[in-house]
Amino acid sequence: MKKLILFVTCFVLLTASYNNIYAKKKCCKKSKKKTEQQAATQAVDDAAKAIAEAVEKEKNKQPMDTTTYVVITTKFGDIKLKLYDETPLHKANFIKIIKDGVLDGTLFHRIIPEFMIQGGDPDSKNAAAGQRLGMGGLPYKVPAELSKNLIHKKGALAAARDGNPQKASSSTQFYIVAGKKYTEAEIQMLASRTGNSYTDEQKKIYMEQGGTPMLDMAYTVFGEVVSGLEIIDQIVSQPRDGSDRPNEDIKMTVKILENK
Task: Kindly tell me if the per-residue pLDDT of 34 is higher than 80.
Answer: no
Q: What is the pLDDT of residue 9?
A: 41
End-to-end distance of the chain based on CA atoms, in angstroms? 108
Cα(183)–Cα(190) distance, integer angstroms: 11
**pLDDT band with cut points at 50, 70 and 90 for residue 20:** low
As a whole number, mean pLDDT of residues 87-111 equals 98
Q: What is the pLDDT of residue 231?
A: 98
As a whole number, mean pLDDT of residues 162-175 equals 97
Q: What is the pLDDT of residue 18?
A: 42
Main-chain dihedrals φ then ψ at residue 111, nearest 5 degrees: -135, 130
Main-chain dihedrals φ then ψ at residue 221, nearest 5 degrees: -90, 125
Q: What is the pLDDT of residue 156?
A: 98
Three-class DSSP category at 233: helix
**pLDDT band with cut points at 50, 70 and 90 for residue 6:** very low
CATH architecture of 68-256: Beta Barrel (2.40)
**pLDDT band with cut points at 50, 70 and 90 for residue 258:** confident
Task: Kindly tell me if the per-residue pLDDT of 36 is higher than 50.
Answer: yes
pTM for the model stands at 0.76
Closest to 174 measured CA to CA, from 68, 78, 85, 254: 254
**Under the phi-then-psi rule, with left for phi > 0, alpha for psi from -120 to 50, and beta for the rest, what region is 75?**
alpha
**pLDDT band with cut points at 50, 70 and 90 for residue 14:** very low
- Check residues 113 and 30 and name the one with the higher pLDDT: 113
What are the boundaries of each domain within the chain?
A: 1-61, 68-256
Tens of pLDDT along 187-224? 999 999 999 999 999 999 999 999 999 999 999 999 99
Q: Which residues contact 136 (CB under 8 A, 6 or more apart)?
A: 121, 122, 123, 124, 172, 173
**pLDDT band with cut points at 50, 70 and 90 for residue 42:** confident
Instruction: Tell how far CA 199 is from the center of its chain.
Output: 22
| Complete DSSP assignment for 46-59 | HHHHHHHHHHHHHH
Q: H or E element: which one contains 202?
A: helix 200-208
Cα(114)–Cα(235) distance, integer angstroms: 12
Tens of pLDDT along 65-75? 688 999 999 99
Q: What is the pLDDT of residue 66?
A: 81
Task: Kindly tell me if the per-residue pLDDT of 1 is higher than 60.
Answer: no
Neighbours of 239 (CB within 10 A): 8
As a whole number, mean pLDDT of residues 52-64 equals 60
